[in-house]
Structure 1
């Protein structure tokens, strides 16, 4: 499929340490540490579609929803960015996606032009960005398959496993730092279906949901993997 508009990467994870033989690739981490910090309230936007692409942002704390506004006004979340992720990278002069905090957080702000100039002169960094772009495209394709071909249980199971790989410090626990409506917008479900499906997985003794609904314990990861239709 050919794209008629510049493709903007929702978030890219760049390793902080310099790899052997890749001189200068650690400069990004050093620059990010000295970049200014912007505090965010829940639901506050980092940037919106159509805004000039002046800065690239690294998530310092919290979770950021990356989404596209459809022609009928509905929101479609593409992914969630976590601490360490870069958001706002792209080929165009304007953002074609929006980024909104799901909870209180912080981002570091770095000049987009400066980062692009650094990548042009640093082959190691450019390769890392290329690999990260490939990983991002693979994740997007997985999402398309999940939404287009899987049922609610499969979609939610896939989402919980993705959170486990991405965010959980405890391999058996994931934190839902977003609203049920955010999860619904990512998976192409309704809020009610997300809640019912979580309850169904709990009844199946695959997961436990703590009071408040923000922490999920994965009780049977092999079964959850099976349900995800992976």
Structure 2
């Protein structure tokens, strides 16, 4: 493929579609991962030793499951949960199908980062809230989460950056997006210029995510 074909309207349309699929995969799985991972991270913190809802057995079991999913290479996870992916999305290939393993990979990642962010909240603030008669859930909503919010935003930024890389790997099994484009055109058709274009776009995409996340964290900490 020459440069004229690389920048042809037809190929640019394919490239634009692939970029949009990547944005959808990362965005939807990031939102779902946050919705599942943040409560899980809160529970891990609350059930820890010396915490408000201390439960050593439940905390250990939950932590083990979280670590097991986190330690599973994403490419293996993609293949291992194909039956679940097909059950939830109706297919094992395509953008919608890729969102399932991406969400499963994101959830424990978010949970651990949120747990770390909550650990950084000063215990004195929690003790003061307890002394004022606040309930556990009031402490969570009015103390822990607001105090840890900048750290949670930073955690979500890291998660979205990681999901971008995972979404490219999803292209290896027909997940769509820029990864699929790079494999089909750049690798299988021996078109290194396509692969280079995919890499450059992914670099700028990740840079934009990281810059926006850093900006949001700075604003929140300033407040």
TM-score normalised to structure 1 length: 0.29
Question: More relative contact order in 1 or in 2 (CA 8 Å, sep 6+)?
Answer: 2
**1 or 2, which has the higher strand percentage?**
1
Could you state the TM-score of these two structures normalised by the residue count of structure 2? 0.29
Q: Which has the larger radius of gyration?
A: 2
